[in-house]
């Protein structure tokens, strides 16, 4: 299953923190794994950003990738990464291992999707008998379209949008903030970030004054949130249903 573990590479982390600390020997393993982590680790810098924007940026794939998502006894599911560039397979995996691959095109099409949000809806509109049964069961209130299960829906396709350089900066600043919280004696002294460049994005911060505020920016927390607010807008309506 395809996963996104981080927006910044080890080399980018080392470049940032070597410049910040003035220590050319600083290495990426100096950051605890709990802060670097991966997509499945709660509390990491990546997880913090994911919770803030309710979205995972992913470089567009050059070929099909596979995601396994949970069914929730609902007619809809969501791709873990949006937009959906193309969708070539939606398969329901039963508890006994049997599989039902759904029709994505033609007169018996069973699946519709919103390319921008990643919302996938199953509408069984095949033969007349199945449509009538579907309506009858729906009226009784217990229709199960995507059955409840753990990673029991397989999605195959191409997904993603270009990762904006700004999100790399955000993750590095979140790492710095988490280091300050975990080890204030060692990291609070590195608060005077004056200039940094990530890709084509360049930022400047003033030195902390006696009131603990950045020149023109209230705090590191404020700056992180301000940078997050400047990320490209992604239409994620309906993601609250996850």
Report the pLDDT value the prediction gives residue 196, as an integer from 0 to 100: 53
Looking at the fold, whether 168 and 148 belong to one and the same domain comes out as: no
Q: How far apart are CA 239 and CA 231, in angstroms?
A: 18
Looking at the fold, whether 215 and 173 belong to one and the same domain comes out as: yes
Looking at the fold, whether 168 and 51 belong to one and the same domain comes out as: yes
| Cβ atoms within 10 Å, residue 193 | 21
Write down which residue in 114, 129, 159 finishes a domain.
159
Looking at the fold, whether 102 and 170 belong to one and the same domain comes out as: no
Report the pLDDT value the prediction gives residue 60, as an integer from 0 to 100: 73
Are 80 and 242 within 8 A, CB to CB? no
Report the pLDDT value the prediction gives residue 150, as an integer from 0 to 100: 94
Per-10-residue mean pLDDT of the chain, 242 residues long, equals 67 90 91 72 78 77 84 91 89 94 91 90 59 47 73 92 84 91 85 54 47 52 85 50 25
Report the pLDDT value the prediction gives residue 214, as an integer from 0 to 100: 42
Write down which residue in 98, 125, 159 finishes a domain.
159
Q: Omega before 17 cis (within 30°)? A: no
Are 29 and 65 within 8 A, CB to CB? no
Are 123 and 40 within 8 A, CB to CB? no
pTM: 0.57
- Please report the beta strands in 74-186, taking only residues with DSSP state E, as ranges in sequence order: 76-78, 84-93, 99-101, 111-113, 119-122, 149-159
Report the pLDDT value the prediction gives residue 141, as an integer from 0 to 100: 44
Residue 102: inside a domain, yes or no?
yes
Q: Tell me whether strands 99-101 and 76-78 are parallel, antiparallel or unpaired.
A: unpaired
């Amino acid at each position: 299953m395809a996963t996104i573990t981080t927006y910044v590479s080890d080399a980018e982390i080392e470049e940032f923190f070597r410049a910040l600390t003035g220590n050319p020997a600083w290495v990426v393993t100096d950051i605890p794994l709990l802060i670097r982590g991966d997509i499945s680790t709660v509390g990491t810098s990546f997880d913090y950003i994911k919770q803030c924007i309710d979205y995972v940026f992913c470089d567009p794939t050059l070929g099909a990738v596979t995601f396994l998502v949970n069914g929730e006894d609902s007619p809809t599911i969501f791709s873990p990464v949006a937009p959906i560039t193309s969708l070539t397979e939606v398969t329901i995996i039963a508890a006994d291992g049997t599989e039902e691959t759904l029709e994505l095109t033609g007169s018996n099409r069973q699946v519709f999707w919103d390319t921008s949000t990643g919302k996938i809806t199953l509408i069984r509109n095949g033969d007349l008998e199945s449509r009538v049964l579907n309506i009858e069961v729906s009226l009784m209130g217990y229709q199960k379209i995507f059955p409840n299960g753990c990673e029991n829906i397989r999605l195959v396709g191409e997904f993603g949008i270009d990762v904006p350089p700004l999100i790399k900066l955000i993750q590095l600043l979140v790492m710095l903030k988490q280091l300050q919280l975990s080890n204030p004696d060692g990291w609070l002294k590195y608060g005077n970030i004056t200039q940094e460049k990530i890709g084509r994005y360049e930022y400047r911060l003033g030195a902390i004054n006696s009131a603990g505020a950045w020149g023109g920016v209230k705090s590191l927390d404020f700056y992180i949130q301000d940078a997050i607010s400047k990320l490209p807008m992604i239409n994620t309506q309906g993601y609250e249903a996850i």
